[in-house]
Amino acid sequence: MTNIILLGPPGAGKGTQAAMLVEERGMIQLSTGDMLREAKDSGTEMGKVVADVMARGDLVTDEIVIGLIREKLQGDKAGGFIFDGFPRTLAQADVLGALMAEQGETLDYVIELQVDDEVLVDRIVGRAAEAVAAGGTARADDNAESLKIRLMAYYKQTSPLIGYYHAKGMLKGVDGLGTMDGVKADIAGVLS
Ligand code: AMP
């Protein structure tokens, strides 16, 4: 069983790659963004609290996302966990390490998807347009204004995790600018 973190800014391809790993390796994707959107859509108290923060592009509190993750770690572990969009702060990273240890699990790799900011803007704007073209609605935070704040949150609060996991010897950089299959092959190379 392999447990990994996919690390990278919004639009880096974390969700896309996680979905392929679930499909092909029977891993379990733990996306705190998806969990928070579900809470928001189903109108729970917590969902109401996070809606504005998420739409703006800021991070929700460590306490909320840690609560969500803690619950999932006690469930089915299948082929291992893919942490997608979590941890996003050093405090979350510390807690994740402790929670995994409690479960007798180890984190194997932290895969950093490396991309350029210009590509991110194009991908996010494209994702919003695709959602609308498919008859749905775009994510409330997939717009230029929120993206700016999400990118700043990434650089200020999340990118320090690159150094943190490098120091732990767990960091693997993957070029996220290639095709979906190219990136997938590079990730497979790390996991093999
Ligand atoms: P994502 O789908 O990963 O892009 O997450 C969407 C939004 O959910 C983020 O912009 C944050 O507002 C919130 N969020 C998701 N994961 C976290 C996390 N680990 N810590 C704090 N906020 C998060």
pLDDT, tens only, 75-133: 888 999 999 999 999 999 999 999 999 999 999 999 999 999 889 999 999 999 999 99
pLDDT, tens only, 12-70: 999 999 999 999 999 999 999 999 999 999 999 999 999 999 999 999 999 999 999 99
pLDDT, tens only, 131-170: 999 999 999 999 989 999 999 999 999 999 999 999 999 9
Q: Cα of 107 to ligand 1 centre, how many Å?
A: 20
Probe residue for ligand 1, chosen from 60, 94, 99 as the CB with the greatest number of ligand atoms within 8 Å: 60
Tell me how far apart the alpha carbons of residues 6 and 110 are, in angstroms, rounded to a whole number: 6
Output the pLDDT for position 22: 97
Candidates 123, 150, 172, 184; catalytic one:
150
Residue 25 a catalytic site member? no
**What pTM did the predictor assign?**
0.96
Residue 88 a catalytic site member? yes
Tell me how far apart the alpha carbons of residues 178 and 180 are, in angstroms, rounded to a whole number: 7
Q: Six-digit token pair at 118? A: 């210009």
Nearest to 86 by CA among 191, 6, 142: 6
Candidates 88, 123, 172, 184; catalytic one:
88
Contact residues of ligand 1, CB 6 A cut-off: 10, 32-33, 36, 53-54, 57-60, 65, 85-88, 92, 141, 150
Q: Cα of 182 to ligand 1 centre, how many Å?
A: 26
Tell me how far apart the alpha carbons of residues 87 and 90 are, in angstroms, rounded to a whole number: 8
Residue 127 a catalytic site member? yes
Output the pLDDT for position 93: 98
